Amino acid sequence: MWFRPIPEIEAGDTGLPSGTDLDALAEASGSGPAVIGRGLETQISQASDREFIYHPWLTTWVGPKTTAAGVIGCVAAAVLTGFVFNTGYVLSTATGMPDGQVKSALTAVAEPVHSWAQGARLNVFSDGIQTALGRQSAFTDEFDTSSVLALVEQSQPSNGPLGGGPSGASIGVPLIPVAPDTSAPPIEVANEPTQAAREPALLPKLIAPYAKNAPPRQLPVMSSDLTQPSADDRLKVLIAGDSLSTYPGFLMQEQLADIDLVRSKLIWHNGTGLTKPRLLDWRAYLAEQVERRNADVVVMFLGANDMGSLTKKGKVIPPHSDQWRGEYALRVVAVTDAALKAGASSVIWVGPPTARSKQTDKYYRDINVALGAADDVIDDLYVIDLSTGVEYKETGRSSGRVVPLRQADGIHWTRAGSSEPANAILTVLETGYPSLAPRLQAARAEEIG
């Protein structure tokens, strides 16, 4: 650091223009004779009777000397360094972006830099940070759903597509057999599971109920054989997901706070989803959280960031296709299955709401279709669809006045708008825990009022 030296103030050196009549100036201000040369810390104004006291650093610090080009170069070097050390995260983010020129350009730049950074082992720094935060490394293997194909096979009736599950879902994930290649000699593989030769897909006729003009879905009804909470065994609710879980989660915690038989916990990770397991593997993470917190019910808000293509066994699955919806449904099943095996009795999954952007809303409709399919595949999954057949609403009325329901991005709920998903979840909880119904109803009524 550099300091500007303070010149010695000699008697008679006032710093005023030559020829200034100091006595006349002092008399005009009513301060009496002027005083010059008080020292470095204290100087008396020549034009008034007010005393100004300065700390030496305020009058001597001038900061480092550099040019505008130097500042720009320093910022550019910092950005470039951050990019090189975090190319895995950049590629993970690009994977979830909507297809287009921005995604293509970002991927084209990031992929070769990431290959070089991995060769130089520069990724250990960002991977270490991810591990410290309890996340997976920024660039890991793709989502493997082979473990849940048996669940899909078991849920598939022999005479046609899936019927409605316990929550009233109307579509499923039929398995489409892969035709054998008769031009090649048969290859015998011992003990190969039958599911390995099948891929899930959603046929157009099954997607039809979730078309743009489809009616809204009814709220699901939970199983009637759930263990009711007691003073010795309280109901533990784990609320988890992406940033969409924040406002509804906070509101739910407020609504449940006065119910002594319920305990709730909210955890969220912004920007995560099922199309980007490289950023956070929700299957492993949610299972760990359920086991750690001994959660009974899991409330999931996930899907708002799931835009763009999927990767399956090294192949790209384009968005807005039956294969994309089928693969997404399998990932929902895999995450739900992991939570149930970790000890949860049920999973309530809230799909993303209707979005203002038509491009974003197209993805959200596909996600809600996949959620409906997953609902038919696995028991104890209850899907709340706030998008299908529901028009986007920017504002609403509360206590006679207009209030915003969505934030500026046209996706996230405001505090007022979050009452819709929060109250829908409490309504579903009533069906599974009738002993809590009076208090859950009172909590909703208080919020609505």
Answer positive or negative: Cα dihedral of 434, 435, 439, 443: negative
If we measure between CA atoms, which residue out of 334, 226, 230 comes closest to residue 287? Answer: 334
What is the reported pLDDT for 318? Answer: 86
Q: Please, which residues bridge with residue 396 across strands?
A: 403
Query: What pLDDT was estimated at residue 111?
Result: 82
pLDDT band per the 50, 70, 90 thresholds, residue 117: confident
Contact in structure between 350 and 300 (CB atoms under 8 Å)? yes
Which pLDDT belongs to residue 193? 36
Q: What whole-number distance in Å separates Cα of residue 303 and Cα of residue 350? A: 9
> According to the model, what pLDDT value does residue 83 have?
83
CA distance 153 to 140: 28
What are the distances in angstroms from CA 346 to CA 298, 340, 354, 375? 7, 7, 25, 12
pLDDT at 311: 83
- Are the CB atoms for 410 and 369 separated by under 8 Å? no
* Residue-level pLDDT at 383: 95
Instruction: Kindly tell me if the per-residue pLDDT of 158 is higher than 50.
Output: no
Amino acid at 115: S
Q: What architecture does CATH give domain 204-448?
A: 3-Layer(aba) Sandwich (3.40)
**Spatial CA neighbour of 369 closest among 418, 423, 320, 336:** 320
pLDDT given for residue 233 in this prediction: 94
State which amino acid sits at residue 174.
P
Cβ atoms of residues 23 and 14 within 8 Å: no
CB atoms within 10 A of CB 257: 12
Q: Looking at residue 197, what is its pLDDT? A: 33
Domain with CATH 3.40.50.1110 in the chain: 204-448
CB 317 within 8 A of CB 130: no
β-strand pairing of 310-312 with 235-241: unpaired
Q: So what's the pLDDT on residue 188?
A: 40
Whole-number pLDDT of residue 201:
47
Q: In this predicted model, which residue has the larger pLDDT, 81 or 28? A: 81
d(CA 311, CA 275): 8
pLDDT of residue 52: 55
Residue 414: per-residue pLDDT: 95
Residue 180, pLDDT score = 36
Tell me what percent of the residues of the chain surpass a pLDDT of 70: 66
Place 246 in a pLDDT band, splitting at 50, 70 and 90.
very high
Which carries the bigger pLDDT value, residue 315 or residue 335? 335
pLDDT digits (tens, 9 = 90+) for 176-225: 333 333 444 443 433 333 333 345 444 444 445 555 567 788 999 999 89
What is the 3-state secondary structure of the chain? CCECCCCCCCCCCCCCCCCCCHHHHHHHHCCCCCCCCCCCCEEECCCCCCEEECCHHHHHECCCCCCHHHHHHHHHHHHHHHHHHCHHHHHHHHHCCCCCHHHHHHHHHHHHHHHHHHHCCCHHHHHHHHHHCCCCCCCCCCCCCHHHHHHHHHHCCCCCCCCCCCCCCCCCCCEEECCCCCCCCCCCCCCCCHHHHEEECCCHHHHHHHCCCCCCCCCCCCCCCCCCCCCCCCEEEEEEECHHHHHHHHHHHHHHHCCCCEEEEEEECCCCCCCCCCCCCHHHHHHHHHHHHCCCEEEEECCCCCCCCEEECCEEECCCCHHHHHHHHHHHHHHHHHHHHCCCCEEEEECCCCCCCHHHHHHHHHHHHHHHHHHHHCCCEEEECCCCCCCCCCEEEECCEEEECECCCCCCECCCCCHHHHHHHHHHHHHHCHHHHHHHHHHHHHHHC
pLDDT above 60: residue 262 = yes
